Amino acid sequence: MKETDQDQAFVERAKRLLEQGSDALDARTASRLAVIRRQALEAEKPAIPWLKPVAGLVVTCAAVLVVYFVTRHPVQKEMVADLEDIELLSASESLEFYDELEFYGWLAEAEGAG
Amino acid sequence: MTIGKRSEDLNQFLAGVERRAFHMARIATGDREEALDIVQDAMFKLVQRYASKDSSEWGPLFYRILQHRIRDWQRRTWVRNRWRHWFFREKDDEAEDDPIEQLPDIRIRDCADQISDAAAISTLESALCALPLRQRQAFFLRAWEGYNVAETAFAMSCSEGSVKTHYSRAVRALRLRLKEFAP
């Protein structure tokens, strides 16, 4: 619908009245609005400028530590294997004893049966 | 743009729109405190999310946020009223299209009690209270803020065609209610 001249005149008058009503705002409300505006603007300020770089550094360090411990895990397994070897090597029995271990087991079973 | 300069520009912008925004919210809600809460939400959201935008975009963005807040408030009120109707088993007249957007404001008398004593202003604001939400939004943005159809459509999150329809219906309804205002 095309806006007629009468519509336009009506709208202009309504606009003037609304402006008057807006200008006649009581002091208490105007003060509250000013406080709200100030609080909103304060919320814009960046919280702590150095926080992001520090947070990034902390995350990176944590990631490095995680990777370090994960890759270290197989090494620990190797160390355990090494310790078993040391126990074997340091045993008082000779190496031939371990080679014949199966035979000694059979012998023990045969004597038990007899 | 430096932060200090931007803050100053934002301050000027908000100072320029806060009274009109409050007025729109108060006419929509009929309650001063509710209106202040709505304006506060709109200001905070604009500053926190859109302060970095070009200052020419702040107006439509601010009113878009404001209109969403008002719409949310009206939806909550509508739901609350529905529950009340349901509990008291009252029959309600449902609007044809979107029941929320077409809902006439039921707080005409309350609203009029709280607004200016000036008879003409009071009459106009009462008539605005009685408009459906979308018509009132279109009227405020087009007539009061002076936004063009595209800006109003952005602020109202609807098509330009809808803006034209809502605005023309609002003007027609207001002229019918306010015959004494006729030139």
- pLDDT reported for residue B119: 80
**Which regions of chain A does DSSP assign to beta strands (E)?**
none
Instruction: Write down the pLDDT at residue B182.
Output: 62
Question: Residue A72's domain spans which residues?
Answer: 47-114
pLDDT for residue B116: 45
Q: What's the CA gap between A20 and B117, in Å, rounded?
A: 11
Are A102 and A80 in a shared domain?
Answer: yes
DSSP string, B26-80: HHHHS-HHHHHHHHHHHHHHHHHHHTTS-HHHHHHHHHHHHHHHHHHHHHHHHHH
- Give the start-to-end residue ranges of the domains of chain B: 3-181
- Read off the tokens for B98: 């979107």
**Measured between CB atoms, which of A14, A34, A45 is closest to B143?**
A14
Tell me, yes or no, whether A31 and A65 share the same domain.
no
Residue B4, chain A, CB below 8 Å: the answer is no
Please name the residue of chain B whose CA is at the shortest distance from the CA of residue A26.
Answer: B116
* Coil, helix or strand at residue B17: helix
A30 lies in the same domain as A77: no
- With CB atoms and an 8 Å threshold, state whether B116 touches A24: yes
Please indicate, yes or no, whether residues A26 and A80 belong to a single structural domain of this protein.
no
**Which residue ranges in chain B fall short of pLDDT 70?**
1-3, 87-118, 180-183
Q: Provide the domain count of chain A.
A: 2
Decide if A37 and B20 are in contact by the 8 Å CB cutoff.
no
| Architecture in CATH for domain B3-181 | Up-down Bundle (1.20)
Q: What is the structure's pLDDT at B117?
A: 47
pLDDT tens across A29-75, in order?
999 999 999 999 988 766 556 677 788 888 888 888 888 887 776 65
The closest of B165, B151, B113, B145 to B21, measured between CA atoms, is: B145
Distance between CA atoms of residues A12 and B143, nearest Å: 8
**pLDDT tens digits, B57-108:** 999 999 999 999 999 998 888 888 777 777 665 554 544 556 666 665 555 5
Average pLDDT value over all residues in chain B: 83
Q: Which of B9, B4, B11, B55 is nearest to A45 (CA)?
A: B4
DSSP 3-state assignment of B164?
Answer: helix
Complex-level ipTM = 0.74
**A6·B183 Cβ contact <8 A:** yes
Amino acid letter, A92: S
> Which of B88, B170, B174, B81 has its CA nearest to residue B124?
B174
Q: What's the gap in Å between the CA of B81 and the closest CA on chain A?
A: 28
